Each structure stands twice: as structure tokens, then as C-alpha cells.
Chain A
């Protein structure tokens, strides 16, 4: 950073102890250029690099207002001076931490009282309880290594199988050694038996039987060893990939709702199913083959040199060319396979997208459009595979051509040596047998490279899931909630989806056992507030205290056990009704399930189902109406006996009559619990002790129904609008 000289001199005089500085990265035209802010005493200086004319200074004081806001990655800092003048600077959100830090210290410096916080995240300045890292700005982890390193990481998942892996390796070694025997036997067979026989020197036939039976034994032994080897290696790899699948799936469950929101279901499914399968194939057959190939190539090379170094050298001549070719196509294959798996998951995503939405597709007669969309994705798969196949097709003939050349060289060198009487025909026969193995093994090693690339791409996609830090982290020093009372205190709660802030400072305290109704127009932040309370997300700023503890201090699962939720569209899993009711507490007795169902008024309709409590529901199961499913989900919440109950539009999908019937079920549920209910229909909130009216991410009014009506604010308008609607219906 180059300072204009005058500016530099000034700062130097005052020294660092008294000055604070901040470098922003955008200028007033929003172009990337460093802009320096400096506070010296109570003077604020601003200067642009290489532009001393742009030097400015203002006097700040304790009453100066500091405002920071973010809009899609663009931050703006607004300083309102005491005389009312507004100063504006812009910066990218990457500077968030520095800006927060600067403001914090400037305020301190200017004598502004700062409310004491337990700790401030070094990343973004959000308040967090001590000792925990901030969730919104986990620092960038170092980029993970290369393809080979990716495969090495796989072995971390195979530690438990280590003895079997070693056993497999020994079997490989043995079967390779046995495989080397037959060509070696052809040498004496040719030189000591066949040629003397041809020349009439050998009169008996018995040695031939000897050699043939030895060859047969070697073949049988190699068959058995090969069988054992591949059995063991697939046994091991099946276990490794299964443990990888389970690990990935269980890791998925630690990730927040935010993650699932941003991922496509089809993509996640293909990572867990087809990528692990890819790895399993790789580990079971290709990995073992490769080990065998390496051993075979090394041992064959050793044998070749032992028999005749000159010939061995001749047979190795094609190798440099092959290595060069392989090196050349490596990059093409890496990107090809990666692309292949991306387009493949694009294709499965189309399926995952349209099959659940099939009603909409049919209703709007868009089958053809969806088929076209699938065909497009399908074509992209074909194109991606064509790309890979092209490279394979081109490389293969080239490799066989070079190896044939190698073979010809061996023939020529050997013929010359036989002519000169240096070697026998038997040696040549054995040599040719070895060389054909040698070449075929090295070809299969090259194939392995492609499998390895593909497996590494799959491993990469899996590790991408496994490396994702849970954004709702478990506390390092947990406070165990056990059974909570349900006193809730929300302090200055902010939340942003990406960089769009949807909650701007919510403050609310709720007594134990109180019922709070949250109303407000769509998009007011009601559901976000609930999500934060359930800790599906963590706030970007501020905190929620339950029974005096920040909820981030509780282990997530233990905390959520104290919360019951009834959602607008109750989700039932495939299984029996009683399993669904007991979902949150699987160990309850049947009596408890029935009791919960009775309280939730679900008992009567369950009785009428063909298999009563054993009836299958959910996908592929008995279809229940929304009202019936809602009653099942109320029973589910009742059984958990939560301290905090959340009703998110629990009755809004129901007709008025069903809602009325459900009301008594709900009342049983609400009794004695801290309840937070979101509802569009204000009539459903009659029982609420207080109503909280939200608008644009803020609480605008709090009070009882009558109090709010007197205020003649947003609530009154909502109420009036609904009454007009209701009146309209009756006409």
C-alpha cells in the first residue's frame, strides 16, 4: 500500500497505538481499488491509492452512527456524522471481518459504550459464546490434494480390513509366482525333449507326459489361487464401500437444512449410491489386478534378464513410447471422467425433479417438455462418454502397434543370436511366452490408470460431502439440557440466507407455558425464526437463550428432543401408523401410542383403517387425508412430550370444519407447554396469550388480540382483510 507522502507523515507522527486503519477493496464507482480509512484521535481520514486529491478528513465523536449493511456480497459502510452528514463506502463481503473489527475498535476508541459480549467471531464479528468457531465463516480449508492422494484417503476407511488385505496380497504374490512357472517349463520342454525328439535323439515319450502334468498342476494351482484372491479382495472392498456409504449417509444427517436446500436430491443420491459402487468395483477387481500386474511385470522382467539380458533389453524398447502416450492422455481422461459423472448426476437430477412433481407435469401437459429435458441430459451423457471413448480408441491401437514392434525387435535379435549359436530355440519360445504376458500385463496396468482416475473422481465427490463441516456444530463444552422448562429469550437475532438478511434484530422473551402466536404477511421471517429456534440454522448475529443458556451450548440432538413440531404438510415415513406416531421416541409402549393417538383425536380414524395401527402409510402406503396425517403428526409431537411446541401453519391446509375438529386435539397438545404458533388464519390463534406481528424481518407489534386491534396497525389491517374475505365467501 503506497500512501501519499503527506498522509504517511501524519500517521507516523502519531504512531500505531493511537490509530486504527482499515483497507476497503472497492472505490466509489464500485471498482476494485484499495481505499484506506484511518482513525487518528477523533479524525477519520480516507485516501485512495495513488490519488492524494481524494484525501478527506472528518471529525467523529461518540454520537457518530456506524451502519453496516450487506446486499448480495456487497457491503456498505455508512457513517452519519453528528452534524447529520452521511459518508458512504463500499466493500466486498470478504472484508466483513476487518470492517467489523475496525468499527468495534473505533467505537471503543471514540468512547462509545459497547455492550459486553461473551466473544466475537474473528471471521465476521458475530457474537458467539466463547470457545466456539463461527458458523458463517469457517475459514477456507486447504485445497485437498491430487487424484492419488484422494485414493490414499480411501485406505483410511479400510483399516479394519487390514489382515484380510495382507492375506489378499500374499495370495496375489503366490498366484503370480505360480503363473511364471509354465513359460519356464517350455524351455526344457523344447530344448531337452521336443528338438531331440525331432532329430531322432530321444526315443521315449514319457518326459512329455511329465512336462504336461507339471503344466496342468501349475494351471490348477493358479486357478485356485486366483479364485481365492478375487474372492478375498471383493469381500474386503464390499466392506470398505459399505462403510463409506454409511459414513457419508450419517455425515449427511449432521449437515444443516441449508446444505440440503442447496443440493439437488438426485445428485446426493448418486453420490451415495453410484459413486460408492464405482469405488467398490475399483477396489475389488481393479486394485487387486493392478497389484498382480505390478508383481507380474517386475518378476517377468527379472526372469527375462536372468535368462538373457540382451533379449530382455530388446523387449523393453517399446516402454518409453507407451509411457509417453499414457502421460499424454492422462489429462484428457481425468477431465473426461469428471465430466462424465457430472452429466450423469445431471441426468438423475432430472429424474429426481420430475418424478415427485409428476402431478404438475401432467396437469400442465408438459410431458413432452420433460422428455426433451431428459433427452438433452441424456445426450450430454453420450457426448461426455464419446469424449472418453475417443481417447481410449486412439490410444489402444497405438499401444498394440508399439508392442508389436517390440516383439519384432525380439524376433530379430533372437534370430541373430540363434544363428550365432548363443541361445537355443527353447529360450526363444520361453521368451516369447513371457513377453506376451509382460505386454498384456502392462496394457492392463494402463487400463488401471483410467479406472483409477474414475475412482478418484468418485472418491472426490464422496469426500466433498464428508469434508463439509456441519454448519450447526456441536458445542465443544456442552451444557446438557435434560428436560427444559421452556423459558425462551431471543436477543437481537439476525439471519441471512447467503447475503440476503431476512431477520433484522428480533427481540422477544417468552415465559414458560405461554402460547405465542406469530402473524404477519408471507416473507416476514416467521418460518426463519422458527428454524433458528429449532437450530436448523444458526443465526448470523444475536442469540437465543432457553432457560438461560444459549442454545448453541446444548448438544443439538439433546436440545431438539425438547422441541415438538407440527408442520403444515405433515410428512409420514413409509411404515406403520404406530411407527410413525412413535417416530420421535421409538421405545414407547403400544399403550402410550394409543393414548397419544386418542389425545390427538387420531384414534377413531385409525380404527377404521384395514389393519388399524399396523396399517402402512407414507409413500407406497395407505393414503390418508391431510387432516388425518395432521392428527398423526400431533400424536407424534404429543408422545415426545416436548417443553417447547412449534405449530407451523399446522391447520392452514385444512378446511374450516376439520380445523375445528382438530382444535381440541391441538389444545391437548398445547396444555402446559411453551407454544409458538404461526398461522395465517388469525382465528386459529384465539387461545394465544400474546400475538407477535412480524413484517419484513422485524417485530412490529406485540400484544393480545384486543390490544392489537386498538393499536390500529398492521394486525388490524390483516384482521380486517380476513374478515372481508370471510364475508365475501358467505355471499
Chain B
């Protein structure tokens, strides 16, 4: 199933009380402070998640978060978010100008914020009607369906791509 665990014993993985993730291999090797990393953060964030140890070595590959027990899955989701912070853009309220750089007021799944849109390279078309915007500070906003946006937001996005 997974090359990292060459023997066929699956590790026991659990979330500590402080939210960090630990794993035990073969009942003896204990690894703490594991960082999860999604291998396809844009196209399929909940599947193919790798756990890395503190030296950034892969220790285990999780096929699907849905197969894990909920508390662990939640802990991994939170940790994933801290590792690869991607906001889901839901609506563009207002852009200061169509000429770049401009300031956009947006609503994402994490609330309302302002982003500074540097130039048209900051927006990238992804397959399946998705797009990714990177603001001046490197913060990323993912649009999961351009067609699903309201008129104004869609017009702004389509102006650049």
C-alpha cells in the first residue's frame, strides 16, 4: 500500500491534545510532530496526504482522509490548512480598478478580506473551471467554479483570464 512502511504493518496514527500528529510504527518507533501535506492541494485536497517527519521525510501516505476517524481527520485538516493556506474565494465585492495593481474586497470561506492584486500573472486558470489567485503577499485564493460565481465576480475574473 505504501512504500514508506515497507513491512505490511500499518502505523497507528493519532492526534495529540495540542493538535499535533503522532504515529507509531511496529509498536515501537514513535514519531511526533508530523506534518501532513496534500499531494494535490488544488485538485483533490482531501486525498493522497503525506505525513512528513521533522526532517521533511515522508513517513506515511494516507489515501483518503474519509477513511480516518473524525478527530484525527479534523486535526489533519487544520494542520493541512496551516501548511498550505488556501482560501476559497466566494465573491468579489469590489475591485478598486481593473488596471493592476488594484485592491480587491473579497469574501472567502474564511471571511471578508482585502487582497492586493499585483498583475494579471497573479491569476492562473486551472482545469475544471477553476482559477487560483495569488495576492501580493503570496496568499492564495482558489475559485472552484468560475461559472458558479455571481455576475460581477465572474466578469472581474474573466477580464484577466
Could you list which residues of chain A lie within 8 angstroms of chain B, going by C-beta atoms? 25-26, 29-33, 70-74, 76, 90, 92-94, 96, 140-141, 143-145, 262-263, 335, 338-339, 342, 460, 464, 498-500, 696
Contacts and interface: CB of A to CB of B under 8 A. Distances in A.
Interface stretch (B23-31, B64-72, B107-115, B143-151): B107-115
Interface string B89-122: 0000000110111110000101111101001110
A338 B155 CA distance: 13
Residue with the greatest number of chain B CB neighbours at <10 A, chosen from A76, A92, A141, A464: A92
Nearest to B107: A32
Given A140-B136, A141-B101, A32 B85 contact: no
Contacts of A33: 111
A73 B135 contact: yes
Contacts of A143: 96-97, 99-102
A335 B160 CA distance: 10
Interface residues of B, number: 36
Nearest to A95: B137
A694 to B, nearest CB: 15
A467 to B, nearest CB: 9
A30 B85 contact: yes
Given A143-B97, A696-B56, A96 B82 contact: no
A589 B6 CA distance: 65
A698 to B, nearest CB: 13
Given A73-B135, A73-B140, A140-B103, A90 B82 contact: yes
Contacts of B120: 342
Nearest first, the 6 A-B pairs at minimum CB distance are A73-B139, A499-B138, A32-B111, A93-B137, A143-B97, A74-B85
Residue with the greatest number of chain B CB neighbours at <10 A, chosen from A25, A26, A32, A342: A32
Contacts, number: 85
A262 B136 CA distance: 13
Contacts of B159: 335, 338-339
Given A93-B138, A140-B101, A460-B99, A30 B119 contact: no
Contacts of B78: 29-30
Contacts of B111: 31-33
A499 B136 contact: no
Contacts of B137: 73, 92-94, 96, 499
14 contacts: A26-B110, A29-B78, A32-B111, A32-B112, A71-B82, A72-B138, A73-B139, A93-B139, A140-B136, A143-B96, A144-B99, A342-B161, A464-B100, A500-B138
Nearest to B112: A32
B101 A73 contact: no
Contacts of B112: 32
Nearest to B115: A94
B43 interface: no
Contacts of A262: 121
Interface of B: 56, 78, 81-85, 96-97, 99-103, 108, 110-114, 116, 119-121, 134-140, 155, 158-161
A74 B139 contact: yes
Nearest to A75: B137
B121 A71 contact: no
A574 B100 CA distance: 36
B77 to A, nearest CB: 11
Given A71-B85, A93-B137, A141-B101, 9 more contacts: A25-B113, A29-B78, A71-B82, A72-B84, A72-B140, A92-B113, A342-B120, A498-B138, A499-B137
A143 B102 CA distance: 6
A30 B101 contact: no
A96 B136 CA distance: 12
Contacts of A74: 82, 85, 139
B37 to A, nearest CB: 11
A29 B108 CA distance: 14
A263 B96 contact: no
Contact of B139 (A72, A335, A460, A696): A72
Contact of B119 (A90, A144, A464, A498): A464
A520 to B, nearest CB: 14
Nearest to B96: A143
B17 to A, nearest CB: 13
A262 B96 CA distance: 24
A640 to B, nearest CB: 34
Contacts of B161: 342
Contacts of B158: 339
A30 B103 contact: no
A342 B82 CA distance: 35
B100 A73 contact: no
A93 B110 CA distance: 15
Contacts of B83: 71
A545 to B, nearest CB: 29
Residue with the greatest number of chain B CB neighbours at <10 A, chosen from A71, A141, A145: A71
B9 to A, nearest CB: 28
B94 to A, nearest CB: 13
